[in-house]
Chain A
Amino acid sequence: DQQVKQNSPSLSVQEGRISILNCDYTNSMFDYFLWYKKYPAEGPTFLISISSIKDKNEDGRFTVFLNKSAKHLSLHIVPSQPGDSAVYFCAASDNNAGNMLTFGGGTRLMVKP
């Protein structure tokens, strides 16, 4: 049973435009959500997080939106740059259960110059 799903395995966007990556979850106990970026043969790099008490968090070009009623979160990257090309993972945790992260399957983002 996949508790965190990223339904789009890949996404292609033109440089300068907005990239929107989506993530759905099923476990209502999840209360902390994170996005990571990963290049091949490297560990995931933390991008941005959001607590379930918020519905939006911004950090520079990255904004994460959380819709608790729909159990859906999204990552917006504006403007997209070729260096953003990577695999993006969303992850969720239940803070009552420590630091265990449950990851989605990832979305490969390609930003074309």
Chain B
Amino acid sequence: KAGVTQTPRYLIKTRGQQVTLSCSPISGHRSVSWYQQTPGQGLQFLFEYFSETQRNKGNFPGRFSGRQFSNSRSEMNVSTLELGDSALYLCASSVLLGNEQYFGPGTRLTVT
């Protein structure tokens, strides 16, 4: 079975721009979660989707948003980028709620 895939793997954007990141979960997995990893804050939960519905949202500003499609693929969007948004963005999928989550390789976003 193919693992979680994320595109693009690397991205460089300028302050004020917006960005969309994509995640394809493992086949059959219906839950997709997004996390941000930075050296200062570690791994932090962004949001979680299950059956196209956002179930949880972490403590991030409204500039961070996401969605899930009927095939379970998910996208996250960050608008009005700030330097502090530079991070590794990780997507994880699981079969159902309450199961172990499997992570993709991440998208490294650099904001200049």
Q: Which A positions have Cβ atoms within 8 angstroms of B?
A: 32, 34, 36, 41-46, 49, 89, 91, 93, 95, 97-106
* New A-B pairs, 4, CB < 8 Å, besides A44-B90, A101-B101: A41-B108, A43-B103, A99-B97, A101-B92
Q: Which B positions have Cβ atoms within 8 angstroms of A?
A: 4, 31, 33, 35, 42-45, 48, 50, 55-56, 58, 88, 90, 92, 94, 97-106, 108
B16 to chain A, nearest CB (A): 27
Name which residue of chain B comes closest to A91, CB basis.
B43
Q: Which of A32, A42, A99 interacts with B105 by CB under 8 Å?
A: A42
Name which residue of chain B comes closest to A95, CB basis.
B98
- Majority SS at the chain B contact face: strand
Complex-state Cα separation, A95 to B102, whole angstroms: 17
B92 cross-chain contacts in A, Cβ below 8 A: 43, 99, 101
B4 cross-chain contacts in A, Cβ below 8 A: 43
A95 cross-chain contacts in B, Cβ below 8 A: 97-98
A30 to chain B, nearest CB (A): 12
